[in-house]
Amino acid sequence: MLSTNESMVIDWFANSSPAPREELVHLARLAEQAERYEDMASAMKSVAEKGRELGVEERNLLSVAYKNFISPRRISWRLIAGIEVKMNDTNDRKRANIKEFRQQIESELQKICTEVQNLLDDHLLKNARSDESIIFYYKMKGDYYRYLAETSIGNDRGVIIENADRTYSFASKSAEEKLACTHPIRLGLALNYSVFLQEIKNESSAAISLAKA
């Protein structure tokens, strides 16, 4: 783990302007080793905002940072939502506490997802030049729509699901045309799209067909 002083260095570089690109990437690697994924995401966000296409390592660091930043909150939300559904206690205070806790987690999830979507739209996709990068980012965009859909309800959920489906579909068609069938990005995209179809849209047959393709 990083010492307190090293952690302060990460925070300072990630929030100072302008930090050299190479130093931000180095700090992201340090943060990953220390499992400080919020710091890692902050550093890579700064790299992405510098206006140049990310290299393969930088792209992967960004993806790993945000995935590990959001994953504990997705797990927490599922646990709390499950407790809320199964709760038989008639104590209104307990119910209110659980609801408030769930909503707090939802707010954190939504904030991260919105940050990623804005980063993709405003920087990453605009600066991407290779087919591989473009498909990677559309896959990532679909993933974060999926994470939003997991915790959304009502009309908003329908819009989010439609956006996720459209994004995954576009990425899949592009991958079929431009990436080899054994390419890791294409395989990962097929897996994540099938998870979306199964878990969010409840389309088991379509999910199985996609996974087998």
Tell me the domain boundaries of the chain.
130-213
Model's pTM, two decimal places? Answer: 0.87
Phi, psi of 58 (to 5 degrees): -65, -40
Tokens representing residue 52 in the block = 């140049």
* Domain 130-213 classification at class level: mainly alpha
Residue 172 burial by CB count (10 A; 0-12/13-18/19+): exposed, middle or buried? buried
Banded model confidence at residue 11, pLDDT cuts 50, 70, 90: low
Tokens representing residue 116 in the block = 């990623």
- Cβ atoms 66, 41 nearer than 8 A: yes
Cα distance from N-terminal residue to C-terminal residue, the chain: 42
13, pLDDT greater than 80 = no
Q: What is the pLDDT of residues 50-83, one digit of tens each?
A: 989 999 999 999 999 999 999 999 999 999 999 9
Q: What is the pLDDT of residues 165-174, one digit of tens each?
A: 999 999 999 9
157, pLDDT greater than 70 = yes
Average pLDDT, the chain: 90
Helices 92-119 and 56-86 cross at an angle (nearest 10°) of: 160
- Cβ atoms 170, 202 nearer than 8 A: no
Banded model confidence at residue 2, pLDDT cuts 50, 70, 90: very low
Tokens representing residue 117 in the block = 């979507």
